[in-house]
Amino acid sequence: MAPSDKWQALLADAETGTERGGTGMRLASTEDGGSGGGNGGGSDFDLKSSKGPWTTASGVAGALHTSSSSALTELETASKGVADNAKGLDSTSALAEVLTSWKGRLTAVRNECDRLEAALKTAGKEFGEREVQTRQDWDRQRPHSGNGVGPR
């Protein structure tokens, strides 16, 4: 079924932009005259991405997991015997409450960092794989013009 005349007019306007003062509708990076994010358009894309930031963030989360685990161990070691030695002091219950609170906080931080390390590592791997696949798909669809520009 052929598009209506109104639909044809809308498509023509999208290409030329006659109703909007000639602005037209086009993807900036696909035409030589487009802005393409600062490189003048064409086939040299300046939008770069990599899995590196995800991998770096995963490493930071892993380091935080390790340091929070160490801090939790140190807190538990340092607090052993404190309750027995502080018997009779008014601050014993407050000390126990603070200790319990900090153990809970450090445990939550440690667990969250462990979760984040795995999630960020997975995201980086998947992101990198999708980038490669997208580049390959894009290159397969790009017409080869005979002047060295085309599928790589």
Going by pLDDT thresholds of 50, 70 and 90, the confidence category of residue 141 is confident
> If we measure between CA atoms, which residue out of 110, 92, 114 comes closest to residue 102?
110
What is the rounded distance in angstroms from the CA atom of residue 79 to the CA atom of residue 94? Answer: 13
Greater model confidence, 81 or 114: 114
For residue 49, what are its two tokens?
């991405």
Per-range mean pLDDT, top range of 17-31, 42-56, 75-89, 137-151 = 75-89
Instruction: Let me know if 117 is exposed, middle or buried by CB neighbors in 10 A (0-12, 13-18, 19+).
Output: buried
Q: Is the pTM of this model over 0.75?
A: no
- DSSP per residue, 49-94: --SHHHHHHHHHHHHHHHHHHHHHHHHHHHHTTHHHHTTT-TTHHH
CB 28 within 8 A of CB 37: yes
**Tens of pLDDT along 45-88?**
555 567 788 889 999 999 999 999 999 999 999 888 777 777 77
- State residue 114's pLDDT score: 95
Assigned token pair, 106: 């450090």
